[in-house]
Amino acid sequence: MTPFFPTHLLGAIYFTKRVGRKEREIRAYKISANVDLELFHEYKCKLQKTINRLFKQIFWEESCDHPILPIAIRDVPSERELEFSHDAKGLREFIREQRNEEAREFRQWLRSQRTRFHAHYVDCIIKDCKMILLSWYENYIGGRRTRRCPWIRSTWVRVKSTQYRVDGNKIRVTIIPKKKYFEFEIPENSWFMPRVHEWSLGELILKPDEIILTFNKPKEKFKPEAYISIDVNKDTIDILIITRTKTLWIRIDWKELVQLNQVYQHLRSNVQNKLNHNKPKMKKLLRKYSRKRYNRINDRLHKLSKFIAELAKVLKALVIVEDLEKEAMYNGSQRHNQEIWMRPWRTLVQYLSYKAHVKQVDPRFTTKRCNYCGSLNTIVANGTVYCHRCKRSIDRQLNATINIYTKYRALEKLKRMKTKKIRVLQTEIRRKMPEVPTRPVVLTIDQMHSSQVVREILKLL
């Protein structure tokens, strides 16, 4: 039996997952550990074999949108049935909605391999295989992966809830039934225990140097009384608060945070240039600057996300952000790519996601489209958007925040009524909005830690 000695606790991950018909909220916490199991090697080998087996069931076909697309074959021996469409089916449906016969074949094939470990690890291998192939498919469609079969480099073992037993704070994981077990204990004074007081313990993920504990509970229904629309730019974050009777435009300057990132990146470059001959010293300094950069930037991001979350909590508001992908913004300019890389947009959204109710929308045309008439016949220049159709001009960031809000509301209405177009619904929602201010309330990140700022903002509403 492998001993377990918790040394320190690491960060947490928060997300939501739909289990069956009920949406559940998931929280994952990392605990440092020293796990030494023979199961790691066999789990990794079986997972790679399963991925290779599924990957062989894919053939490639020419397409007008993409040069070569993966097409999944439902019945490989006869090759009689092909199902594919770029939007929702094809390989995604092949992996997600495998028929019972196919899933049973995979289980039987994996169990036929010589193994002495718990049979339920087979289900975990199949689940990991599906997740890896789905991730590869989405990245391949986006141009971020090649046609090569995914290769497993990391080491981990997924443990289902049926494979362990909980006794107070002690957890006993079955490795070999009735022969070998792995035990560890969650300290009672762990910082995350009060946050998951009435939550259920779900799957465990064992790694050589840590254990990831997942907790879940049914997600509570949330009916927003207000909305907070956020448009993230290179130097500013524009927030539009929409209530039933009033709107408020807030502009947060985060140049300081970007400059911090640039300073530490410059320090790292200098260390690499000067100490290239002394590898141990260079690695030590790089770790030091990386840790400092991580701590200082994350401190400011937490302050910013906490400020927005407090506003959302008091107003009972839903936060709407853009689903941005940095990879799609990169081009041949190294300077432009570095500027994009310096902006921690995704980290900010991640911190917001567990402090408030957050929804994401497609960012396409949110800046260019006229928020009043919905026309794309506009000119975006010098920080303003001018519409040729309705002859209106508006700040480009304010225009984007309005479009983000109306787009989400229109998509929600489109689920119930499919007779209208989304652009028409956006225009109707925009004209029912309260009057939008022409000047923003300008704040800096250093002001975010003060609760007095939140009270002053609420007074303006």
In this predicted structure, what is the pLDDT of residue 248?
A: 93
Whether the CB-CB separation of 111 and 36 falls below 8 Å is answered with no
Name the amino acid, one letter, at 379. I
In this predicted structure, what is the pLDDT of residue 65?
A: 53
- Same domain? 157 vs 280: no
In this predicted structure, what is the pLDDT of residue 82?
A: 35
In this predicted structure, what is the pLDDT of residue 92?
A: 56
In this predicted structure, what is the pLDDT of residue 1?
A: 36
Q: What is the 8-class DSSP label of residue 73?
A: B
Under DSSP, is residue 325 helix (H, G, I), strand (E, B) or coil?
Answer: coil
Q: Is residue 16 part of a domain?
A: no
In this predicted structure, what is the pLDDT of residue 44?
A: 92
- Same domain? 435 vs 298: yes
- Same domain? 287 vs 435: yes
In this predicted structure, what is the pLDDT of residue 64?
A: 53
Q: Is residue 217 part of a domain?
A: no
Q: Which helix (H) or strand (E) holds 134?
A: helix 121-141
- Same domain? 263 vs 189: no
Q: What are phi and psi of 303, to 5 degrees?
A: -65, -45
In this predicted structure, what is the pLDDT of residue 221?
A: 83
Name the amino acid, one letter, at 440. P
Q: Is residue 21 part of a domain?
A: no
Domain count within the chain: 2
Q: Is residue 17 part of a domain?
A: no
In 3D space, the residue among 186, 239, 189 whose CA is nearest the CA of residue 215 turns out to be 186
In 3D space, the residue among 161, 99, 154, 109 whose CA is nearest the CA of residue 132 turns out to be 154
- Same domain? 251 vs 122: no
- Same domain? 318 vs 440: yes
- Same domain? 230 vs 277: yes
In this predicted structure, what is the pLDDT of residue 53?
A: 84
- Same domain? 254 vs 364: yes
In this predicted structure, what is the pLDDT of residue 89?
A: 44
Q: What is the mean pLDDT of each run of 10 residues along the chain (461 residues)?
A: 33 47 80 86 90 80 58 40 38 54 71 77 87 85 82 92 90 90 87 88 92 89 91 89 92 86 87 83 88 90 91 93 81 81 86 89 89 88 89 90 92 78 86 89 82 85 80
Q: Which two tokens stand for residue 446?
A: 């250093």
In this predicted structure, what is the pLDDT of residue 84?
A: 36
Q: Is residue 208 part of a domain?
A: no
- Same domain? 130 vs 181: yes
- Same domain? 159 vs 194: yes
- Can you give the residue range of the structural domain that contains 301? 226-460
Distance of CA 348 to the CA centre of its chain: 11
Q: Is residue 211 part of a domain?
A: no
Q: Is residue 210 part of a domain?
A: no
- Same domain? 74 vs 173: yes
- Same domain? 413 vs 316: yes
Q: Is residue 209 part of a domain?
A: no
